[in-house]
A and B are shown apart, each in its own frame.
Chain A
């Protein structure tokens, strides 16, 4: 059948099972939006306030549902506004397809109005990208884009479509999407045998799992494997939820803001199994001194992650769920309980570090929200101290339920990501923990949540300062609080109301509880502005360059 390029885009989205897209119209995507108008009964478009918000929404949608997130933006500034969102998704290996318009082919390369080489701009921050100049190439590019975004190690893909290709017509032939199978082309029997040997020899195995567990839906196989070999599990921030927080031998996070329990377990293990973790320097500290006493088994779908930062004794390259399932099946069961008992002993000896000051302490705030929200709540964060507190104190018991910008650390990520998470999971509660710094970056998206009628609980952990940078200034820059004490007099209740949302100011735990209770019956987004002292720190902390287990537990005020 003959269709316009824009209609073909819609048909390809439907082929891929896409029913929700995020975006913002503009001159070079009017044809796409004209087709969206025609397909509005099949594809729901969420109009954001800014393209960056749309990009984070598509990302949050993908993280929480496992399906690729789709974002549409116009050429020039529309496209460049996606760059932070693409980089965020790229660092955390999130499947996303970004569709941008570009100028007519006659104007291409002439510095036409709103022309930018977004294909070139996004090379370093995408897994792959296409520029489509002719309508007959649209279907092929989009089908490949969805495949590449999801196959193997996922990532964002950009498809830049010229205006003439959107408006021009061509023959469209429907196709069934190419099946995405677990990527195991480098998985060898030999690597599995070596892994089994090293595991069977180990007396004190320890698993450190990363975002790969969530991406590969490997929670069940991970738990089966861990139980069989009696291994405690530590998670990176990206891995949270991949092992339920209530697993008896869960040790918390490892690294810059990891627990003493995790670093102690790593220090004492004789085999460290890295599972779907890319070993960021935020985890390893000084990489040369990371767990040098232990044998290391690295499991990853991306061969380039092996020996990139941490040298491994041996490795298995393949889909994490596949690999863990095979290992769980084939390794010998470990019946000696000594190591497990030792972990539980340390767990009692090294409780999670908290600070008490003023009327609301961050750990109490996070735990109170957690107690009042349903168990399957999706927890979204922005970036900064509140992110660490949420990661440390909110028990995440389900995969794909802790949505946070781990690699890029994108302040302003949270609200868009919460919108995306709620759009993809209308029957689950979504709570966003944000800070006053992060929230001010993209709070324009409150209007999106309000217009869409999305019930999102926004807990604004407000200390009036850019707390994480301030914490570093306190520790390493002689208390020179350069530009981190912003002290802006924002009335968040009025701000919420101005955008059609509801707001509460809370200064005590009682007020916090009352506001959370009240939020349960309120339609649309609710902002709880919780005032806390400016001198709380994210602790423990491994100062940059330190060994992973050289933690500090207190920063003097």
Chain B
């Protein structure tokens, strides 16, 4: 079966051990994940976890069902465009000798990235966008000499209705 990228949004109980239980489940069942991000929501007792992975339809269905039945998971949904929007935040530390700086600033400008730090030999640029954009930006910066990349992993949400939570304790 053909593989594609899946972005899952999980609304979970915000307590110690939940992320570890969920990532452990994925590992144990042999599912490979590209990225996972987790943070508290506007409600302190609820966290949002975004999981991104490549899989065929059969595997993806299994992943979703296994996650859905977890006690800590209140809601799970797949985020697909155009019903959903996704973003990734990337920070890149790049070699920036004085004669290269203007060129880097120009590239950053094309991508609407910002320069957030400058030192005598390096610059840090940041960018938020869809992962295709962040990937393209990294490629564009590569020739200057990337020292380090930090990516947030993908986050996102549905443009449609609010999530329906299953019964909570």
Tell me the chain B residues, 48-84 only, with Cβ under 8 Å from chain A.
Answer: 58, 61-62, 65-66, 68-69, 71
CB proximity of A238 to chain B, nearest CB, Å: 19
Tell me which of B16, B24, B65, B71 contacts A304 (CB under 8 A): B65
Tell me which of A119, A124, A127, A131 contacts B71 (CB under 8 A): A127
| Nearest-CB residue, chain B, relative to A311 | B58
- Kindly state whether residue A123 has any CB partner on chain B within 8 Å: yes
- Kindly state whether residue A308 has any CB partner on chain B within 8 Å: yes
By a CB distance below 8 angstroms, the chain B residues around A124 are 24-25, 28
- Kindly state whether residue A351 has any CB partner on chain B within 8 Å: no
Asked if A128 and B71 make an inter-chain contact with CB atoms under 8 angstroms apart, the answer reads: yes
Asked if A131 and B68 make an inter-chain contact with CB atoms under 8 angstroms apart, the answer reads: no
| Nearest-CB residue, chain B, relative to A128 | B71
By a CB distance below 8 angstroms, the chain A residues around B30 are none
Tell me the chain A residues, 304-318 only, with Cβ under 8 Å from chain B.
Answer: 304, 306-308
Tell me the chain A residues, 117-137 only, with Cβ under 8 Å from chain B.
Answer: 119-120, 123-124, 127-129, 131
Asked if A303 and B65 make an inter-chain contact with CB atoms under 8 angstroms apart, the answer reads: yes
By a CB distance below 8 angstroms, the chain A residues around B25 are 124
By a CB distance below 8 angstroms, the chain B residues around A308 are 62
Tell me which of A127, A131, A153, A304 contacts B62 (CB under 8 A): A304
Interface 0/1 of A64-87, CB less than 8 Å to B: 000000000000000000000000
- Kindly state whether residue A148 has any CB partner on chain B within 8 Å: yes
Interface 0/1 of A290-326, CB less than 8 Å to B: 0000000000001110111000000000000000000
By a CB distance below 8 angstroms, the chain A residues around B119 are none
Tell me the chain A residues, 191-233 only, with Cβ under 8 Å from chain B.
Answer: none
| Nearest-CB residue, chain B, relative to A304 | B65
CB proximity of B106 to chain A, nearest CB, Å: 50
- Kindly state whether residue A474 has any CB partner on chain B within 8 Å: no
CB proximity of B30 to chain A, nearest CB, Å: 13
Tally of B interface residues using CB under 8 Å: 17
By a CB distance below 8 angstroms, the chain B residues around A123 are 17, 20-21, 24
Count how many pairs of residues, one from A and one from B, have CB atoms less than 8 Å apart in the complex. Answer: 34
CB proximity of A124 to chain B, nearest CB, Å: 5
Answer whether A144 and B169 are a contact pair too, CB < 8 Å, given A119-B17, A120-B20: yes
Tell me the chain B residues, 73-117 only, with Cβ under 8 Å from chain A.
Answer: none
By a CB distance below 8 angstroms, the chain A residues around B166 are 185
| Nearest-CB residue, chain A, relative to B71 | A128
Interface 0/1 of A152-185, CB less than 8 Å to B: 1100000000000000000000000000000001
Among B20, B25, B65, max chain A CB count under 10 A is at B65
Alpha-carbon gap, A128 to B21, bound state (A): 9
By a CB distance below 8 angstroms, the chain A residues around B58 are 307
Alpha-carbon gap, A120 to B21, bound state (A): 8
Alpha-carbon gap, A127 to B69, bound state (A): 10
CB proximity of B60 to chain A, nearest CB, Å: 12
Tell me which of B20, B61, B169 contacts A307 (CB under 8 A): B61
By a CB distance below 8 angstroms, the chain B residues around A153 are 69
Alpha-carbon gap, A308 to B71, bound state (A): 20
Interface 0/1 of B19-60, CB less than 8 Å to A: 011001100100000000000000000000000000000100
CB proximity of B140 to chain A, nearest CB, Å: 42
Asked if A304 and B69 make an inter-chain contact with CB atoms under 8 angstroms apart, the answer reads: yes
Alpha-carbon gap, A265 to B65, bound state (A): 31
Tell me which of B20, B62, B66, B71 contacts A148 (CB under 8 A): B71
Answer whether A131 and B17 are a contact pair too, CB < 8 Å, given A303-B68, A307-B61: yes
By a CB distance below 8 angstroms, the chain A residues around B69 are 152-153, 302-304
By a CB distance below 8 angstroms, the chain A residues around B66 are 304
| Nearest-CB residue, chain A, relative to B167 | A185
CB proximity of A462 to chain B, nearest CB, Å: 37
Alpha-carbon gap, A148 to B65, bound state (A): 18
Alpha-carbon gap, A307 to B62, bound state (A): 8
CB proximity of A178 to chain B, nearest CB, Å: 9
CB proximity of A91 to chain B, nearest CB, Å: 13
Alpha-carbon gap, A307 to B65, bound state (A): 11
Interface 0/1 of B151-169, CB less than 8 Å to A: 0000000000000001001
Interface 0/1 of B116-160, CB less than 8 Å to A: 000000000000000000000000000000000000000000000
Alpha-carbon gap, A39 to B34, bound state (A): 52
By a CB distance below 8 angstroms, the chain A residues around B65 are 303-304, 306
By a CB distance below 8 angstroms, the chain A residues around B21 are 123
CB proximity of B27 to chain A, nearest CB, Å: 9
Alpha-carbon gap, A306 to B28, bound state (A): 19
CB proximity of A177 to chain B, nearest CB, Å: 13
Alpha-carbon gap, A278 to B36, bound state (A): 29
CB proximity of B102 to chain A, nearest CB, Å: 51
Alpha-carbon gap, A120 to B24, bound state (A): 10
Alpha-carbon gap, A360 to B51, bound state (A): 59
Alpha-carbon gap, A131 to B17, bound state (A): 10
By a CB distance below 8 angstroms, the chain B residues around A148 are 71
Alpha-carbon gap, A153 to B71, bound state (A): 12
By a CB distance below 8 angstroms, the chain A residues around B61 are 307
Among B58, B66, B71, max chain A CB count under 10 A is at B71
Among A129, A148, A302, A308, max chain B CB count under 10 A is at A308
By a CB distance below 8 angstroms, the chain A residues around B28 are 124
By a CB distance below 8 angstroms, the chain B residues around A307 are 58, 61-62
| Nearest-CB residue, chain A, relative to B17 | A119
| Nearest-CB residue, chain A, relative to B69 | A304
CB proximity of A20 to chain B, nearest CB, Å: 26
Alpha-carbon gap, A302 to B166, bound state (A): 16
| Nearest-CB residue, chain A, relative to B61 | A307
CB proximity of B126 to chain A, nearest CB, Å: 35
Alpha-carbon gap, A302 to B69, bound state (A): 8
29 cross-chain CB contacts under 8 A = A119-B17, A120-B17, A123-B20, A123-B21, A123-B24, A124-B24, A124-B25, A124-B28, A127-B71, A128-B71, A129-B17, A131-B16, A131-B17, A148-B71, A152-B69, A153-B69, A185-B166, A302-B69, A303-B65, A303-B68, A303-B69, A304-B65, A304-B66, A304-B68, A304-B69, A307-B58, A307-B61, A307-B62, A308-B62
What 3 A-B pairs come out closest when comparing CB atoms?
A304-B65, A128-B71, A123-B24
5 new A-B contacts at CB < 8 Å, known A123-B17, A185-B166, A304-B66: A123-B20, A123-B24, A124-B28, A129-B17, A302-B69
